[in-house]
Structure formats: structure tokens, C-alpha cells
Structure 1
Amino acid sequence: MSDVAVIARDRRDRLGEGPLWSARENALYWVDILGRRVNRLSLADRSVTSFEQPAYAAWIIEREAGGLVAGIGLDIVRLDLPANTRETIGSVDKGIAGNRLNDAKADRQGRIWAGTMPAACDKPSGAFYRIDPDGIIVRADAPYTIANGPAIDPEGHFLLHTDTALATIFRFDIHDDGSLGQRRPFITFERGWGNPDGMTFDADGGLWVACWGGGCVTRFTPEGVRDRSIALPASQITSCAFAGPALDRMFVTSAGDGVKEPLGGALFEIDPGQRGRTPEMYRG
């Protein structure tokens, strides 16, 4: 377990998720979903600040026009930090009690792809949505028990999305109008790998997947073949993102909820031996 650093701070995340590199701020954002917090790590001085939210803080993405957009509960909001004020763009899963947002990414067209799931992780009541720059929200696919990922082909031809409960990463073609093609299994996790959670592409087209219950991040080739893994000192690994000016560092989130582990819920920094891609921004 070489070159694994633990980011120093005064708390652990109940359910750390959604790391996002901000080049314009030289900072890493991530969320603690169950802790209802948005966190920020300054790479300049390694300081961490935390902003409490009124509901589950599911994800955070930069806006091209400046500022941030976030998934809070079932609402998509423009989030102003450090003032920590919110302006609602729209909502999803209306009328479905017990659901929440979970994980999202922006694509090169400036759209957001975001999944939902039951907070209890107990039934396939979740769905997968597209949020367009004009604020229109489209239900793109269903059902999901634990919607995770997603990872979007940098060329915009396809996306990958996961149902962690099924231990399967699915592939969808993206049509010119933003609709999705048929859901097809791309990678099915074997026993002992853990279950697929958050993921990201590297500059060579490899897919890095956080392995919930597997205590590692695993790289798959563009063809979906398991390439290598980096072990981490926590079992519930939730997501990963390339960061730093050269995009050659990786930050990895984890969850402490439900486990008695000294580093459960820590934020880790590792050397992945690859470079990543600059994350896309929302154009709304």
C-alpha cells in the first residue's frame, strides 16, 4: 500500500462521495452525503473547509459561468460558496418518498447526468436523469437501486453508469439529441472485487472504479479488462478523481458509516501512475 496519504482534518465522512477537481480554484471539492456537507480542500495550503447543507448532499459540479451546482436531497441547486446559499433549478423523483440524488457528472455539452436511489438502498425506485443547460430535466433510464458513476466518454459518444446493487457497470450510447441507447452490461464485478461505485476516465481511456467493500480503486482498460488495483486502508471506497495542475494525483473518498475502521470515511491521496482529464462544467 505505497504512497497513500490521508488528508488531515478534524472529521471523517459518514458517506464521502463525488470528488471534483477545480482548476480555477486549485481545490478539490467532495461531499459527505449522510453528513449533509460539502467539503473543500485547498491544494495551496492543504486546509479543509466544510459547509453544512439542509438535506443529503449528493454531488457538486462547477458551473461554466462561475460558481457551483449541487444535488441536495432531490433538488438541483445553484450553490454559492462561501456564502452557502442555494437557488433551486429543479427537482427529480417527485412524489417518491424516501429517494435522494446520488452521484453525477457533466458532459462536454454542459449537461449533467445524475442518478437517484432510495436512501434505504432497499428497492429499485431510483432513476437516471439528464439536466440540460436550460434547466429542463429528462428521465433517461430506470430503474436503479443504487445509482452510481457515472463516467462519460470525453468524445461524447457513450456513458457508463452503475447499479452498485447489481455489481454491474452499464454502457449507453449517447444520441445526438441527448437521448440514450439501450442499456448494455459493460463490466460485471466478480466475487472478491467489491462492488462498483464512483468512477472516472484517465487520459488514455482507462476506467478507474472505486470498489465498495473491496478496499481499493481498480483500473480497467478501454475494453473493460481488469488492469490493476491500488489498495487503500478502508473497505468502503466510494469514488475517485484526478486532480492537481498536471492531473497526475488522485483523490479517493470513503465511507465510515456502518464500519469500525480507523480510516473509514477518510479522504485519501494516491499516485495513480496515470494522468486524468479536466472535468466538464455545467452550462446552466
Structure 2
Amino acid sequence: MEQVTAVWPLGATLGEGPVWVERDAALWFVDIKAPAIHRFDPASGATQSWSAPAQVGWVLPAEDGSFIAGLQSGVHRFDPATGSFTLLAAPEAGLPGNRLNDATVARDGAIWFGSMDDAEEAVTGRFYRMDTSACADTGIAPVCITNGPAFSPDGGTLYHVDTLGRQIWASQVEGAAVISTSLFAEIEDGAGYPDGPVVDAVGNVWIGLFAGWGVRCYAPDGTLLRYVRLPVANVTKIAFGGPDLTTAYATTAAKGLSEAELAEQPLAGALFAFDAGVAGMAGHLAKI
């Protein structure tokens, strides 16, 4: 049984998108529904928070020292020094019921990100790729709630999630092109819904389980290797951090829990940490 510790019991409504930022040795993440960007410094225990002007699905470090954030209104540049958000692209300006939900940075500095129907009903969630020249639909089939994507260590496989369909997919990619897509794993009824994926240094795929009380780890061939149980039901995503990238930081959510469930889960919405026993991959900086 892994020792899981609540390192910041902030009570996020929908904590999401953890990312380890090496340049300041800190864990960054968001609260989508109480829109804010959060920073946790594990060395000192210090925390910082910035309000966001709309629901914010993700925040990723950029090459120029700023951050790129995915808001309901589009992709923005975020400056922690001023707390300002500057719109860069609005790929779904014609879909006001959608919002951006999860993202990752590829080796070449492009950001791959997904969208979803905020009402969690319509099949309007799509995956996009954005670089310095364009923001374009990847052509991956739309679903209601996208999560991920995440890349394999060699950059050739893109893992992406159909949350309501309880399916994790693997697409082969070459540069900006998606070549083929196949089913990687399915979550059985009663085990929760697959949320954010992340890949470790040996190619294992880690999936947060919303309503599933933990995190699953799958081998590159789709074999289930591990399950790490947390003391809260809604686990959204992990990120590998710390000096050797072996500490797993997990974001969680209080969203959807009844008063009775919240009473039974006083740490719902906390940021947790545990020893993953394997290293993650160093993140890439967005070239946007």
C-alpha cells in the first residue's frame, strides 16, 4: 500500500492539469470550476494562486518564461508576474457551450489539447494541435469529454481519452499528422471514469479515475500493472515531479459529491503526493 499524503488540502472544486515546472521546481495545476491557477513549492510548502477570468482547463510552461493556459474562451498567454491573460487563439469561438479541458506539450514545442461539452452531453469535444503558425483540429474523432493527450517517450504514440465512453485510445503520430488510432484500454463498469493520462519514462500510462478512488498504471501493451488508491473518489490526473521525477502529484475534485460524501471525504479536492516508484519524463516547453 503506497503512502499517499495530502500536501495541499485546498478543497478544489475540480482540480486538474498538474504539471511539474522544472525551471522553478514547482507543481502547477488548475481548478476549473472555481477558476484559478495554483502553484505548489514542495521544498518550502509555499502556495500561490491566481484567479482566471473563465473556466481554465490547463496551464503549461512556455519557452519565453510565460505560461500558456487553456480557458473556455480559448488559448491564452498567462503572465504570473501580473496575473494577466492574453488571448492567442479561439478554436471554438462558435461553440460557446464547449471549454478546453486538458493538454500536453510535444517534443517540438507544439501544444496538443482537447475540448469538451461543458454540460457533458453533446459529442462536441475535439483534439487540437497548436504551434507558432496555426491551431488546427487533429482529425481525431470527436467525443463528449476529451482528456489528455499524452505522448509516449519516443513521441510516436499519442494517448487520448474518451471519458464518458470509458476508453483510452492510442494514436500513431508523425509530426503534426495522426496516422492511425486503436483502442488501448477500457475501464470496466463500476471502476470509475478515465480522466487525465500521463506517461512515465519507461512508457507506462497512468490514468486518474474520476469516481474510481485512485490511479491506474498500464504497461505500453495495455496490461494493467498497478492501482494506487487515494482517500477521495474523484482523482483527475497525476504529474511526476521532484528532483528525480519520482514523486506523483495527484489532483482531485469535490465536484459532484453530495453533502454526505463530502463529510466522508474531507480531503476531496486536495493535492496529494505519493512515491511512484518510477521516474516520469521531463516536460517540454511550449514554443507558442
| SS at structure 1 position matched to 2:179 | coil
Distance 2:205 2:51 in 1: 32
Higher mean C-alpha displacement, 139-148 vs 231-240:
139-148
Asked if 1:13 corresponds to 2:17, the answer is: no
Matched residue SS, 1:174: strand
- Alignment-derived partner of residue 149 in structure 1: 148
Q: Quote the Cα distance in structure 2 between the aligned partners of 1:126 and 1:151.
A: 16
Segments of structure 2 that go 5 or more residues without pairing to the other structure are none
Residue aligned with 2:63, SS:
coil
List runs of 5+ in structure 1 lacking aligned partners.
none
State the alpha-carbon separation in 2 of the partners of residues 182 and 276 from structure 1.
Answer: 26
Q: Is the 8 A contact 1:73 1:100 kept in 2?
A: yes
Following superposition, the deviation at residue 33 of structure 1 comes to 0.4
* TM-score for both structures, normalised by structure 1: 0.96
Kept in 2, the 8 Å contact 1:110–1:133? The answer is: no
> Is residue 153–residue 201 contact of structure 2 (8 Å, CA) maintained in 1?
no
Corresponding residue of 2:267: 263
Deviation for aligned residue 1:192: 3.4
Q: For 1:8 and 1:281, how far apart are their aligned partners in 2?
A: 26
Query: 1:5 Cα deviation (Å)?
Result: 0.7
Deviation at 1:184, TM superposition (A): 1.8
- Which whole-Å CA distance do the structure 2 matches of 1:65 and 1:166 have between them? 38
Distance in 2, Cα, partners of 1:264 & 1:170: 28
CA distance in 1, matches of 2:8, 2:267: 11
Question: What letter is aligned with 2:82?
Answer: A
What residue is the counterpart of 2:220 in the other structure? Answer: 222
After TM superposition, the structure 1 stretch with the greater mean CA deviation from structure 2, 96-105 or 73-82, is 73-82
AA aligned opposite 1:6: A
The one-character-per-residue Cα deviations of 1:81-126 (angstroms, maximum 9, x if unpaired) are 0311112111121211211000000010111111001111111011
Supply the distance in 1 between the matched residues of 2:249 and 2:282 (Cα, whole angstroms).
Answer: 14
Residues 90 and 137 of structure 1 are in contact (CA less than 8 Å); yes or no, is this contact kept in structure 2?
yes
Identity of aligned residues (%): 34
1:67 aligned partner: 66
Matched, 1:249 2:276: no
Aligned residues: 281
State whether residues 116 and 144 of structure 1, in contact with CA within 8 Å, keep that contact through their aligned partners in structure 2.
no
The CA deviation at 1:46 is 0.7
Question: 1: distance between equivalents of 2:238 and 2:61?
Answer: 17
CA distance in 2, matches of 1:74, 1:173: 29
| Closer, same or farther: CA 8–188 of 1 in aligned 2, 3 Å | closer
Tell me the amino acid that sits aligned with residue 114 of structure 1. F
Alignment map for 1:123-142 (pairs within 5 Å): 123-134=122-133, 136-140=134-138, 141-142=140-141
Q: Name the TM-score, length of structure 2 as normaliser.
A: 0.94
Contact 2:153 2:202 in 1 (8 A): no
Give the distance between the partners of 1:210 and 1:199, measured in 2 at CA: 7
Structure 1 stretches of 4+ moved >3 Å: none
How many angstroms apart in 2 are the aligned matches of 1:32 and 1:274? 27
Deviations 1:153-181 (A, max 9, x none): 221212010010100011111124x1112
| Contact 2:208 2:215 (8 Å CA) reproduced | yes
Equivalent residue number for residue 163 of structure 1: 162
1:183: how far off?
Answer: 2.8
- Counterpart of 2:43 in structure 1 is 44
User: Contact 2:98–2:125 (CA<8 Å) still a contact in 1?
Assistant: yes
When the two chains are superposed, the root-mean-square deviation of aligned CA atoms in Å is 1.2
Q: Could you tell me whether the CA contact under 8 Å between 1:130 and 1:137 is conserved in 2?
A: yes
Quote the Cα distance in structure 2 between the aligned partners of 1:187 and 1:156: 19
Q: Between 146-155 and 32-41, report the one with greater CA deviation.
A: 146-155
Confirm or deny that 1:188 pairs with 2:192.
no
Return the alpha-carbon distance in structure 2 between the equivalents of residues 8 and 147 of structure 1: 27
